[in-house]
């Protein structure tokens, strides 16, 4: 069977009747994929490339920036700002938006991304990733400079989303609204080759991904759900759930996507509105992928993709995975 490259896949999608992948979106995704190859190359050098450790600075989130966070952010900006596909970019590592400079042509899309998810894992040689989301720029952007409010679109408006995971293999997982597909980087050819898809989340897997260290912050409903799933007598599958947690959202969600189960990073019940994950850079792109693979994603009560963002760096609780498990947890929370 002939290998299907990312470029061939996107071209075939572009040629479909009522295509969800016009040429400009195809070229943008290919540019992001090339930047991810460059990030993978930097990660693979580790200490030899002086990419480990922190810079001693903080990003807008108040988090200490790793060297790799800044390097990956710069690689994505440099790769995308001159291509003519974007009106602007926004990143977890930048205080505000990055409009496309006037010296470059502007396109009709907006790119938001987390350049390195789980960057603390790099120093101990564990998997990390890059998460991205593509939005359409509002039509009024054609006659003016792009603004922050142009990025504040609900997740249902995403034209595409995906992530790269830098692990034993380097993978690109992508949706353009017509299913979820996985591509593996062939390092000898330098090409992304399709290795799975359309992906559907397996049902009935007794596995939960959650950070137990944050148990004091959970609501009583989340405590009850997790305790029930980790107890042999109460777990619905006839045995206690396995618990997995890597500290890299990309790695944990990828396992859910491929093996099933449920991922939880709930809001802090002690402080209303306090949560960990960013809506635009993490929750929305992952939620679109999960829904396209037949799963569900909620913030604890309602659908994540329906949330109207109020700010660029807004945070939300996130529960996603097997629809049956997400529904069971929602019933407990809303009871």
Binding-site sequence positions for substrate: 117-120, 211
Residue list, annotated binding site for Mg(2+) = 92, 114, 116-117, 282
Q: Do 165 and 171 contact (CB within 8 A), yes or no?
A: yes
Q: Do 194 and 183 contact (CB within 8 A), yes or no?
A: yes
DSSP alpha helix (H) spans, the chain:
6-14, 23-45, 67-80, 220-229, 249-259, 284-292, 323-334
Longest CA span, the chain = 65
C-alpha–C-alpha distance, residues 38 and 116, integer Å? 13
Nearest to 277 by CA among 313, 244, 252, 323: 313
197: left (phi over 0), alpha (psi -120 to 50) or beta: left
Strand partners, 194: 183
Q: Do 284 and 158 contact (CB within 8 A), yes or no?
A: yes
Residue list, annotated binding site = 92, 114, 116-120, 211, 282
C-alpha–C-alpha distance, residues 90 and 77, integer Å? 9
Residue 110: its H or E element = strand 109-117
C-alpha–C-alpha distance, residues 132 and 89, integer Å? 11
C-alpha–C-alpha distance, residues 56 and 27, integer Å? 36
Nearest to 247 by CA among 117, 123, 130, 132: 117
Task: Check residue 63 and report its DSSP letter.
Answer: P
């Amino acid at each position: 069977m002939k290998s299907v490259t990312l470029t061939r896949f996107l071209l075939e999608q572009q040629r479909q009747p009522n295509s969800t992948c016009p040429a400009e979106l195809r070229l943008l995704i290919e540019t992001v994929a090339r930047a991810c190859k460059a990030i993978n190359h930097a990660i693979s050098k580790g200490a030899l490339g002086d990419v480990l450790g922190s810079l001693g600075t903080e990003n807008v989130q108040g988090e200490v920036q790793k060297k790799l966070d800044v390097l990956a952010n710069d690689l994505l900006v440099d790769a995308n700002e001159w291509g003519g596909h974007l009106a602007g970019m926004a990143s977890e590592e930048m205080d505000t938006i990055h409009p496309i400079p006037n010296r470059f042509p502007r396109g009709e899309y907006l790119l938001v991304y987390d350049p390195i998810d789980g960057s603390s894992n790099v120093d101990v040689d564990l998997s990390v990733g890059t998460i991205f989301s593509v939005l359409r720029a509002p039509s009024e952007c054609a006659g003016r400079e792009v603004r922050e409010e142009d990025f504040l679109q609900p997740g249902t408006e995403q034209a595409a989303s995906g992530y790269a995971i830098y692990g034993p293999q380097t993978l690109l997982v992508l949706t353009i609204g017509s299913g979820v597909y996985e591509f593996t980087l062939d390092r000898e050819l330098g090409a992304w080759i399709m290795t799975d898809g359309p992906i559907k989340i397996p049902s009935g897997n007794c596995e939960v991904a959650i950070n137990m260290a944050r148990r004091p912050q959970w609501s009583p409903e989340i405590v009850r759900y997790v305790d029930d799933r980790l107890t042999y007598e109460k777990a619905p599958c006839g045995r206690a759930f396995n618990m997995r947690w890597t500290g890299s959202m990309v790695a944990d969600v990828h396992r859910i996507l491929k093996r099933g189960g449920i991922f939880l990073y709930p809001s802090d019940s002690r402080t209303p509105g306090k949560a960990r994950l960013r809506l635009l850079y993490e929750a929305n792109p992952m939620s679109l992928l999960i829904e396209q693979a037949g799963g569900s994603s909620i913030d604890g009560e309602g659908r994540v993709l329906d949330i109207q963002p109020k700010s660029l760096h807004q945070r939300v609780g996130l529960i996603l995975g097997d629809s049956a498990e997400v529904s069971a947890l929602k019933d407990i929370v809303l009871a």
